[in-house]
Amino acid sequence: MAHMPMVDWSEVLHPRSLVSETALVRFDESVDDPEDTVYTSAERTAAASRSTWISVALNIGLSCFQITVGVLAKSQGLIADGIHSLSDLVADFVVLFASHFGAKEADADHPYGHQRFENAASLVVGMLLLAVGAGMAWSAIGKLENPETIPQVHAVALAVVAVALLAKEILFRYMLKIAKRVKSSMLVANAWHARSDAASSLVVGVGIAGNLSGYPLLDPIAALVVGLMITKMGWGFAWQALHELMDRGIDEEELAAIVDTLKATPGVRGIHDVRTRKMGDMIVVDAHIEVDAAITVEAGHDIAVAARHNVMARHRVLSLMTHIDPWRQPDLDHLSVPRR
């Protein structure tokens, strides 16, 4: 039997690692990756659908199992963990919905396509995590205020938590691998939602173990910790998605790679005023290209076409709009224009 890798739960509990791996994931290793040209929109949609349906099947089974055993074993923590698994189902269906509509071709009303369904879906997943985390924290506080209502838990609940923890960690690693391969921030958000569920199972397990050892307050304390963790993660996803919906530019490293590709195009003497914005997991770029002032308009156009082709072939760029400027000539583009 293959040896399972140890779970590094510091990634879950340490705020810095959460931010760097989840809401702020940048796919830095994919810059200039030839694989950017491999996955079409249809292939990315298929990957999202396949991994999400696997998550749906697992979460249905786990949630039913956890809630049933939680009721029989008198474990409020296990019941809450099962309800948390049900919230994953909502996130999964949001991803399926966004993947379906995000793959639609551009039309008259949406000339850039429908990729921003993915950004909106990430925002919904973040809001869902916020709601689930806040609800769990509120319930835990209620338990702490009334410790006499905490029952003795049966030991079978601890075994169920261990099974759920292993299943969710495997699901997280699978979904994150697919998300990074097809470069989908929406799938990254959903994968980390699965990890948050695994983290909650871990803390619930600690609470159940404490209850069994004669420390019943550990159960609601564990639930409170889980609630705060999920709330923080939800805030990160929602804030990131909100920025992308407001046309925040890409990170400096990926921008520099695009600029280098533009500069490498024969005939391009300089680049300035490069602006970017996210469209789903694709990028829309505007750039001013400087060419020799003595060449013809047709020659300048051919250079711009070549630059556009090079960028779109090498990077995950959906559209590149170029403006031709004469090299070493005064740039009059930024002169103030009188307004009526």
One digit per residue, the tens of pLDDT, for the chain of length 340 reads 344 333 343 333 333 333 333 333 344 433 344 444 445 666 777 777 788 788 888 888 888 898 899 888 888 778 778 877 776 676 667 767 776 776 677 778 877 777 777 778 778 888 888 888 888 788 888 888 888 877 788 889 899 999 988 888 888 888 888 888 777 776 787 788 777 777 778 888 888 898 888 888 887 787 787 778 778 878 887 888 888 888 788 888 999 999 999 999 999 999 998 999 888 778 899 999 999 988 999 999 999 999 999 999 889 888 899 999 998 776 666 656 666 6
- Within 10 angstroms of residue 88's Cβ, the number of other Cβ atoms is 26
Amino acid at 304: A
SS3 content of the chain, % helix, strand, coil (to 5): 65, 10, 25
16-245 has CATH 2.60.300.12 classification: no
pLDDT of the residue at 262: 94
pLDDT of the residue at 41: 61
Nearest CA among 278, 279, 276 for reference residue 257: 276
252-326 has CATH 3.30.70.790 classification: no
pLDDT of the residue at 180: 80
The residue extents of the domains of the chain are: 16-245, 252-326
**Count of positions (residues) in the chain:** 340
Which helix (H) or strand (E) is 66 found in, with range? helix 41-73
Cα(243)–Cα(42) distance, integer angstroms: 26
Cα(56)–Cα(241) distance, integer angstroms: 23
Q: Does the predicted model carry a pTM greater than 0.85?
A: no
pLDDT of the residue at 91: 66
pLDDT of the residue at 14: 37
